Structure 1
Amino acid sequence: MAVPRILIVGGGYVGMYTALRLQRRLRQGEARVTVADLDSYMTYQPFLPEAAAGSIEPRHVVVPLRRVLPSCRILSGRITSVRLADRTAEFSPHEGPDLTLDYDYVVIAPGSISRLLPIPGLARHGIGFKTVEEAIHLRNHVLGRMDIAASTPDEEIRRRALTFVFVGGGYAGVEALAELEDMASDACRYFEGLRRGDMRWILVEATDRILPEVGPDMGRWTVDQLRRRGVDIRTRTLLKSAEDGHIVLDDGDEFDADTLVWTAGVKPNPLIGAGDLPVDERGRVRADEFLRVRGTAFAFAAGDSAAVPDLTRPGQMCPPNAQHAVRQARRLADNIVATLRGGRCRPYVHKDAGSVASLGLYQGVAQIYGHEIRGYPAWFMHRTYHLSRMPTINKRTRILMDWTLGLFFPREIISLGAIQHPREEFTLAART
């Protein structure tokens, strides 16, 4: 009898944790697991703001799939479509011809992408905050702008270089802004002629509050804390244009900025619509309470791109966060094993425990089981919780060492801007 083939589309939270669980639970030779993703590593996104601020080495927030999944086949490239009718998926590797992958069971977990709006100049001048590459770039970029401002007497150039705009008041936008502002303010003492007040940090949010995940009271407290640090928070405000770095807001304000970070929401990966997967009105693949794609017994889905019923809140879907993704992955893997062995699947049930957010060193907000926590205790809880959820002892130990060293030594303020153009010096030398 042929060995069943399990294809996992995506190597993020759901994909990696599902593969880990299957690797532990499947008997030798019981099934063959293949994980296909554009990257050969999983990024632990809650630590991206700290990586951007230099509190954590960026390499320590990513987990290499080939190391943690030695029993699985890892394919680096892009799944371009998944077909349920003939149980095949089209795979495009980074180089070489496209492949058709056959499967007996499939896990749809490609995650989400940034939801961009048709705003003039946004695609050209903006950057997201979902990947470790974006976090590294933003750190180098912010420090590079400070280098420029400290090296020129031109006030217009200085003002533009030191204006940092973040659009989106959810977790990603608030944490990224808070951590980078904290880092830049600390670094000012090393830049002659630069003061904290010279920098302009602006948070633009379309709704009437920020951090809705932690409740209105914690959201207002966060606004107060950030404004005390000089952050300009604009609620009920939209970005109208960003052409040539000229920012135009719908409240009538206009100014130039070299930095535009877009964190205003996400949408399901386009892969979901490329094939015959059943999708809902928001473009997510429809799943049932057993994490099976509706109408099938061999296809499963979870994570940001899946509409999974929340059994603790009848009529609603599970929110797209890491807390649900990790737990869905475990239940999904167990249900695949049960299906393989002719057993019964169990429904996914999990009540949201709450949320935590970091606002820079020693500041944070949290709402845990209805209890609101702020300041240092929330910051400590944020670090402790996410450290415990970081995959592998290796990565947890390295992150803990980064934090320990940070107690005794200042953060690095080196801008490796040239990393974006590594051949520039070589090309220049070739011309002389």
Structure 2
Amino acid sequence: MNTVTRPRILVVGAGFAGVECVRRLERKLSPDEADVTLVTPFAYQLYLPLLPQVASGVLTPQSIAVSLRRSKKYRTRIIPGGAIGVDLKSKVCVIRTITDQIVNEPYDYIVLAPGSVTRTFDIPGLTEHAFGMKTLAEAAYIRDHVISQLDLADASQDPDERASRLQFVVVGGGYAGTETAACLQRLTHAAVKRYPRLDPGLIKWHLIDIAPKLMPELGEKLGGSAQEILRRRGIEISLGTSIAKAGPEEVTFTDGRVVPTRTLIWTAGVVASPLIATLGAETVKGRLAVAPEMNLPGDDGVFALGDSAAVPDLAKGDGAMCPPTAQHALRQGRHVADNVIASLRGGVMKPYVHKDLGLVVDLGGTDAVSKPLGIELRGLPAQAVARGYHWSALRTNVAKTRVMTNWLLNAVAGDDFVRTGFQARKAARLKDFEYTDAYLTPEQVRERVEGAARRE
């Protein structure tokens, strides 16, 4: 078959959903059936659930970044950049490459798995002064920052400055926020022993959330166990509370309290990638509304999945949507690949159905709470389940070996509390890591595509 006539399958996003889709397409399609292209700014798949362990130094950054170029047998073309708009009528995806060049990429089938971005609100000073926990760079940067606060507090002669540098605030009582607070508190608790001039009692961690409970999905008992573990470690938990404003040296809570701090970590949820808004299609709470087969009704060859798609959860029923979790994204990736192939070959697409396998929360050390298949676990058994699940979900044996080695080495030797200093000269906050202002409007996408067509 001539190369020009081969169907073009474009996959947007290299998260769990996108990578699983690409790998399955490569395995099940012969080279002459279709050309597969992947759009991603980074040629690796990031294992997001383990980011807090990178921030706390338990794992190295490389261990959870699984290279997409490692295997020689994969034939997918990778475009290094990000999709900033999609014209469904012309079947063109507008891409901003890492060199800031904007290109139009035509497709016959498109799989939208751009993931999510940090959800923020119109809170004064939030994006200027808060850190996020959504990217590998953010996790590595936060580790540097936290250790540097200990160094700077140790060097300071001002008691007020010292106190502010040793207070840390995490906003968000979901999995990301809870694990981040738990893992980083363990880091500072261990590190302060190497600073004889610092009073360990000055180190204070605050975990706040507007919701009445931490991780309500865990249930009353396990959620209560997680709170008890954190409080026993000295983490102050404030529920029904959020941030009123943020500054460079203090944070004001909505209950009126003012906490002097140089560290505000924002993990209060995620929203679908702004790419979805460029389609001009129906959405459900910002996520693209798709059929149970994960195709976009009324638009031939358009599929969406993962955090950016409102995929009906047929296992739960009652109009429920699949939660944005790794276990759903992995399975949706494989399933949507099968449906793309069925559509390509004139077959019948099948609806996505998956019963949730449970939840795991790693609180560092021997502390964890897990609920696999509805069974409530705490302590070491829960930790074994949590780490076993994460370890098995890593896609390559190289990644599994690196993670297991890191866990064993950290358990035996502990941490060296080394900071790289790569970004010491320039502060970086939430607004510096997520380029949410780079996307086009539907009108701009259409204008660009039509302009390119006229020039041709």
Measure, in 2, the Cα distance between the counterparts of 1:171 and 1:388: 19
Measure, in 2, the Cα distance between the counterparts of 1:80 and 1:210: 35
Count residues in correspondence: 421
Measure, in 2, the Cα distance between the counterparts of 1:195 and 1:170: 30
TM-score normalised by length of structure 2: 0.90
Measure, in 2, the Cα distance between the counterparts of 1:142 and 1:243: 17
Indicate the residue corresponding to 1:193 in structure 2: 197
Indicate the residue corresponding to 1:132 in structure 2: 136
1:361 to 356, 365, 378: 365
Query: Is 1:83 aligned to 2:93, yes or no?
Result: no
Note the alpha carbon deviations across 1:20-76, whole angstroms, 9 max, x for none.
111111112211100001222221011111111111111110112222573100011
Measure, in 1, the Cα distance between the counterparts of 2:199 and 2:379: 25
Indicate the residue corresponding to 1:413 in structure 2: 417
CA RMSD after TM alignment: 1.4
SS in 1 for 2:170: strand
| Conservation of the 8 A alpha-carbon contact between 2:312 and 2:320 | yes
Indicate the residue corresponding to 1:142 in structure 2: 146
Indicate the residue corresponding to 1:325 in structure 2: 329
1:49 to 46, 52, 67: 52
Shift of 1:96: 5.3
Indicate the residue corresponding to 2:206 in structure 1: 202
Shift of 1:404: 2.0
2:173 to 169, 176, 179: 169
Note the alpha carbon deviations across 1:294-319, whole angstroms, 9 max, x for none.
22341111000000000012211101
Measure, in 2, the Cα distance between the counterparts of 1:177 and 1:96: 36
Which stretch of structure 1 is more off in the superposition, 410-419 or 395-404?
410-419
1:245 to 245, 249, 258: 249
Query: Is 1:40 aligned to 2:70, yes or no?
Result: no
SS in 2 for 1:274: helix
Shift of 1:264: 0.5
SS in 1 for 2:45: strand
Shift of 1:244: 2.9
Q: How does 1:21-420 map to 2 (within 5 A)?
A: 21-68=24-71, 70-95=74-99, 97-276=101-280, 278-314=281-317, 315-420=319-424
One-letter code aligned to 1:142: V
Shift of 1:270: 0.6
Note the alpha carbon deviations across 1:73-113, whole angstroms, 9 max, x for none.
00111211112111111111121532111101000110000
Measure, in 2, the Cα distance between the counterparts of 1:40 and 1:75: 9
Indicate the residue corresponding to 1:3 in structure 2: 6
Shift of 1:419: 3.6
Note the alpha carbon deviations across 1:282-338, whole angstroms, 9 max, x for none.
121111111111223411110000000000122111011111000000101111112
SS in 1 for 2:248: helix
Measure, in 2, the Cα distance between the counterparts of 1:380 and 1:197: 31
Shift of 1:10: 0.8
| Conservation of the 8 A alpha-carbon contact between 1:304 and 1:320 | yes
| Conservation of the 8 A alpha-carbon contact between 2:229 and 2:367 | no
Shift of 1:420: 4.1
Shift of 1:418: 4.2
Shift of 1:196: 3.2
Indicate the residue corresponding to 2:449 in structure 1: none
Measure, in 2, the Cα distance between the counterparts of 1:282 and 1:402: 39
Note the alpha carbon deviations across 1:379-420, whole angstroms, 9 max, x for none.
121111110001111111111111222233121211223444
Indicate the residue corresponding to 2:436 in structure 1: none
Note the alpha carbon deviations across 1:130-157, whole angstroms, 9 max, x for none.
1111110111111110111122232111
SS in 2 for 1:417: coil
Measure, in 1, the Cα distance between the counterparts of 2:107 and 2:235: 51
Indicate the residue corresponding to 1:430 in structure 2: none
Note the alpha carbon deviations across 1:230-271, whole angstroms, 9 max, x for none.
101000112101123321112221121100000001111111
Unaligned stretches of 5+ residues in structure 2: 427-456
One-letter code aligned to 2:168: F
Note the alpha carbon deviations across 1:159-204, whole angstroms, 9 max, x for none.
1100100000000000011001011111121111224322010011
One-letter code aligned to 2:58: S
Measure, in 2, the Cα distance between the counterparts of 1:239 and 1:310: 33
Unaligned stretches of 5+ residues in structure 1: 423-432
| Conservation of the 8 A alpha-carbon contact between 1:36 and 1:79 | yes
TM-score normalised by length of structure 1: 0.95
SS in 1 for 2:252: strand
SS in 2 for 1:204: strand
